[in-house]
Chains A and B, each alone.
Chain A
Amino acid sequence: MNQPVPSLIHRSPKTLFPYLFTALFLLAFIDSWRRAGIEPMVLFAAKGRGNVWKFLSGMFPPDLSWNFLSLMFRPTLETIQISFLGTLIAVIIGFPLGLLGTHTLMVRGILNEAELQGVPVRRSLRYAIYFLARGVLSLFRSIPEFVWAFMFVRAVGLGPFPGVLAIGVAYGGMLGKVYSEIFEGVNDRPLEALQSLGANKLQIFFYGWFPQALPNFVSYTLYRWECAVRASAILGLVGAGGLGQQIEISMRMFNFNEVLTLLMILFLMVAGVDYLSARVRAML
């Protein structure tokens, strides 16, 4: 009775999974390494070394002249505005879609047992909405933000606005997915209790779900804002305004000392958002 237990466990198909997974991971790693043409030594070969040196030495000293800095004031502000508004739109898109894409709110678990048992029509409808929401979220985030920016530049013209829209849509897809995972991860006992005293789904959400999810919700949203600051630099390359456009211009002119200044400004902004985020989280 005591002895055969371990062997039974090993024979069960379920426990094969970790080995299979490890093998697949190793295969994928080796294959990707080969195909991606990764050759670390090239970085240190004579030609590469020369270019790296040219780029790095061109960066120093960074251009900190008042002349240049004062010109960068507006683009910096613009980047903050793009990232802020973009993240706001992303929350507005991601929050409702994330809710509709939350498994435990829509289709399964203790909050749906009584409501959906024996009513196949209602159940199918719920599943349809759920899959639609998840599908839209996947679509929004699978298209890279610079492609969105490219499309929006065509649609609404050059400037910060297409950047805002691009971040709003692409990040809306990411936020929605993560929100739904945060909502699924909360303790469902308090939710069951709220349901049992006659609360509707929205009331359960605001009294049970959201308070529990709040710290993760806020910290992930702020993290996305931080990413949006960086992303707005890339979006500048396709004409969506902000610091990115300045980086692109300076690179094209081989003014690497200006590039370094711009990167420093970017770094300060990211660090600033990070600091803000830490303060907010400490408050919760």
Chain B
Amino acid sequence: MNDLQQQYRLEEVRKVFGRHQIALDGIDLNVQRGEKLALIGPSGAGKTTLFRLLNCTLRPTTGKLWLDDCDVESLHGKRLRAMRRQIGTIYQQHNLVQRLKVVHNVLAGQLGRWSTPRSLMSLAKPADLGLAHKALEQVGIADKIFERTDELSGGQQQRVAIARVLVQDPEVILADEPVSSVDPTLASTIVRLLIDISESTRKTLIVSLHSVDLALAYFPRVIGISHGSITFDLSPDKISEAMLEGLYAGNDREQPATEAVNEPASPIAYPSIS
């Protein structure tokens, strides 16, 4: 095994809330550096909880989680924050500070590198306008830089969140249902944008998706999760309709995006990164 290539290793990871609320029930997972994978599964399956473990917001109740060959259990304070800086997360929604200008939300990606006084001063006068501008240009909304974030549409806000990750420049990008609050066309645009970023900078990319079709169309590795356990971990051509049926058994399967996959490029163009 080439350990340098290993991004995540999870062994028998369980997360129990309170006494009985089992959110994750024994997850084993290996993720290589630069890999792109999608998580699918019904709501309540434990996807968000898994992301919170992967970005060190929560710790496993039992089991082991290694990140870059470092056991996260041993991390506290400064070293924990240094590790978090290497992981950029994009959330479903509501993850930006609505009352701040776009530029501050984007530059927040620098907080892990900035001292506290420096970050405070940046609120008065943006410390690195060029960087913010470049990141917003990459996601195609450079003209919104000085607008207040709550004046942007849902799709635009998601681009701001991606620009923040670009500024953060982490090793890993996690995206927890990044497109379930935008329309299908925009959804595939944003997913492709994430894949583009991951490929051009060799970042590990883990995305959970509401839409099975998006996952199967764009990702070389797809993991199905239900009831806190992994039910399959395969490349899309090996995933059968029966497996998907089983994954969503007893749940409504979200199916809005069938036509979106075949859609031509979105009207909003984005320059890719190189």
Q: Are B168 and A197 in contact (CB under 8 A)?
A: yes
A199 within 8 A of B: yes
Question: What size tier do the contact residues of chain A reach?
Answer: 20 to 34
Q: Are B73 and A199 in contact (CB under 8 A)?
A: no
Cβ of B220 to closest chain A Cβ, rounded Å: 26
Cβ of A281 to closest chain B Cβ, rounded Å: 13
Q: Mark each residue of chain B from 49 to 71: 1 if its CB lies under 8 Å from any CB of chain A, else 0.
A: 00000011111000000000000
Measured between alpha carbons, how far is A110 from B96 in the docked complex, in Å? 16
A113-B58, A197-B85 given; A203·B116 CB < 8 A: yes
Q: Are A198 and B123 in contact (CB under 8 A)?
A: no
Considering only residues 148-174 of chain B, those with a C-beta below 8 Å from chain A are 161, 164-165, 168, 170
Cβ of A213 to closest chain B Cβ, rounded Å: 10
Measured between alpha carbons, how far is A119 from B73 in the docked complex, in Å? 11
B119 within 8 A of A: yes
Q: Mark each residue of chain A from 173 to 207: 1 if its CB lies under 8 Å from any CB of chain B, else 0.
A: 00000000000000101101111111110110011
Q: Are A196 and B84 in contact (CB under 8 A)?
A: yes
Would you call the interface of chain A mostly helix, strand, loop, or mixed? helix
Counting chain B CB atoms within 10 Å of each CB, which of A115, A198, A199 scores highest? A198
Q: Are A114 and B58 in contact (CB under 8 A)?
A: yes
A118-B73, A198-B82, A207-B104 given; A190·B57 CB < 8 A: no
Q: Are B96 and A198 in contact (CB under 8 A)?
A: no
Partner of B76, one of A110, A119, A199, A214: A119
Q: Are B57 and A192 in contact (CB under 8 A)?
A: yes
B224 within 8 A of A: no
Residues of chain B within 8 A of A157, CB atoms compared: none
Cβ of A190 to closest chain B Cβ, rounded Å: 5
Considering only residues 208-248 of chain A, those with a C-beta below 8 Å from chain B are 208, 211-212, 214
Residues of chain A within 8 A of B123, CB atoms compared: 206-207
Partner of B87, one of A187, A194, A196: A196
A114-B56, A114-B58, A207-B111 given; A195·B99 CB < 8 A: no
Q: Are A189 and B116 in contact (CB under 8 A)?
A: no
Measured between alpha carbons, how far is A195 from B56 in the docked complex, in Å? 9
Measured between alpha carbons, how far is A115 from B72 in the docked complex, in Å? 11
Please, which residue of chain A has its CB at the minimum distance from the CB of B61? A117
Cβ of B67 to closest chain A Cβ, rounded Å: 13
Cβ of A211 to closest chain B Cβ, rounded Å: 5
Q: Are A189 and B76 in contact (CB under 8 A)?
A: no
Q: Are A198 and B111 in contact (CB under 8 A)?
A: yes
Q: Are A196 and B111 in contact (CB under 8 A)?
A: no
Binding site for B on A (CB under 8 A): 110, 113-115, 117-119, 187, 189-190, 192-200, 202-203, 206-208, 211-212, 214
Please name 5 pairs of A and B residues whose Cβ atoms are closer than 8 Å in the assembled complex, sorted by A.
A193-B91, A193-B95, A193-B161, A206-B119, A214-B99
